[in-house]
Structure 1
Amino acid sequence: MEQITAELFGKTEIPYPVMLLRMTGAIIVGAIIGAEREYRDQAAGLRTHILVALAACVFALLSIESVHMAGFADEQVRIDPLRVIEAVTSGVAFLAAGMIVFSRGEVRGLTTGAGMWLAGAVGLAVGLGYWFVAVFATLACFIVLFILGKIRFAKPSCHEKHADKPE
């Protein structure tokens, strides 16, 4: 039984309660970002943003822990935690790009894609222990999405743009 317990709760650099706190924080900041997208009935809403932030947090925790793993202590093995950040960034960018569509002359999903990208960034920030950065970025995102989202700038429609041009 000791071996199973040791396997499930092995020695870590970051204590398990701190990991749990960081993952919970990632869920919260992802939910704050995703709530606005859910409110506006976008395809990537609350659950998607939570999962992106949580996944990014887990990758950050794993990158910290992998540097300290006994099996990687050999000089021949090189661990680069920045590669994890790069992988999360490009992976989330791929997901975000999938949210962007061109339909009927309009681009849709840019804000949702940007929100997903930010959810990944704040998840990484929480996973790496940069709480201030994560909370500030989440609050800034909330302001941009909720408050600035209420401001509608007059934009000519696709038909109005071409109405004055001769055919």
Structure 2
Amino acid sequence: MQSWTDQLLGEDFLLMVTRLLVALVLSGLIGFEREINNHSAGFRTHILVGVGACLMMILSLFGFSAFNEVNDNIRFDPARIPSYVISGIGFLGAGTIIVYGGTVRGLTTAASIWTVAGIGLVVGAGMYSVAIFTTLIILISLIFLNHIERIFPRSRTTMFIELVVDETIEINKVLEILEKHHFSITNIEIIRQESSLRKFYIKMNRKDRQHLIKIFEEISQLQGIKSISELNK
């Protein structure tokens, strides 16, 4: 006869807890990288996705075992619930994608969320070594390959800057500064914010960082400028 602890927790409780903790650690590592780089979905979001996916996999593997023991005719597919997780997680990733005029931000974070869900499913299935190896690959891709992209910026021919301004701004003076430094402007988008604030998204040709610093210094001295920053894809 089973003890009350076995009836309450189940025979596989420790195994399930171990898998949930492994999913927490691995997804947390990826989320921490996104967090320190100030992306929209960070530490907590990745942990929730990874642990939640692991929980769904555990449910698929262990949640229906009692029905199989009672009825031999019942058949179930352990991949059914995970398949819905993989397709359904897309809505959360879509929420991290932001469109600024002609540029799109958040694609990498959306992809990391989708991959973390996969890691959670793999951990839930007990494939720890594959999950750890995949986590290492993702971290290498997010951290080191990002530095390589910065070393070779020639493939990017355009850049985007964001201006937060108030009603006192004279946008012509901003354009004069850009033209003085020989930047070619290809697109300008204006979005009205709360009260009197507005956001300007300016798309222009990419030049070296030294020119960009000079531009930021000159523009920041203009009346009505609240903040100026470069947008990264």
What is the TM-score normalised by the length of structure 1?
Answer: 0.84
Q: Name the count of aligned residue pairs.
A: 160
1:48 to partner: Cα distance: 0.4
Q: Does 1:61 align with 2:58?
A: yes
Q: Is the 8 A contact 2:67 2:74 kept in 1?
A: no
Aligned pairs for 1:143-162 (under 5 A) are 143-151=140-148, 152=150, 153-154=152-153, 155-157=156-158, 162=186
Using the alignment, how far apart are the partners of 2:185 and 2:27 within structure 1? 37
Aligned pairs for 1:43-82 (under 5 A) are 43-70=40-67, 73-74=70-71, 77-82=74-79
Structure 2 unpaired stretches of 5+: 161-183, 187-203, 206-233
Q: Is the 8 A contact 2:61 2:125 kept in 1?
A: yes
Q: CA RMSD in A?
A: 2.4
Using the alignment, how far apart are the partners of 2:32 and 2:104 within structure 1? 22
Structure 1 unpaired stretches of 5+: none
Q: Which moved more, 1:85-94 or 1:109-118?
A: 85-94
| 97, 117, 136: which one aligns with 2:133 | 136
Give the 3 Å change call, closer, same or farther, for CA 83–156 of structure 1 in structure 2: same
Look up the equivalent residue of 2:25 and give its one-letter code.
I
What is the TM-score normalised by the length of structure 2?
Answer: 0.62
Look up the equivalent residue of 1:9 and give its one-letter code.
L
Q: Which one has the bigger strand percentage?
A: 2
1:31 to partner: Cα distance: 0.7
Q: Which one has the bigger helix percentage?
A: 1
1:91 to partner: Cα distance: 1.9
Give % identity.
Answer: 38
Larger radius of gyration: 2
Q: Which moved more, 1:89-98 or 1:109-118?
A: 89-98
Give the 3 Å change call, closer, same or farther, for CA 147–136 of structure 1 in structure 2: same
1:79 to partner: Cα distance: 2.1
Aligned pairs for 1:84-163 (under 5 A) are 84-151=81-148, 152=150, 153-154=152-153, 155-157=156-158, 162=186
Give the 3 Å change call, closer, same or farther, for CA 76–98 of structure 1 in structure 2: farther
Q: Is the 8 A contact 2:31 2:45 kept in 1?
A: yes
Give the 3 Å change call, closer, same or farther, for CA 128–88 of structure 1 in structure 2: same
Give the 3 Å change call, closer, same or farther, for CA 131–156 of structure 1 in structure 2: same
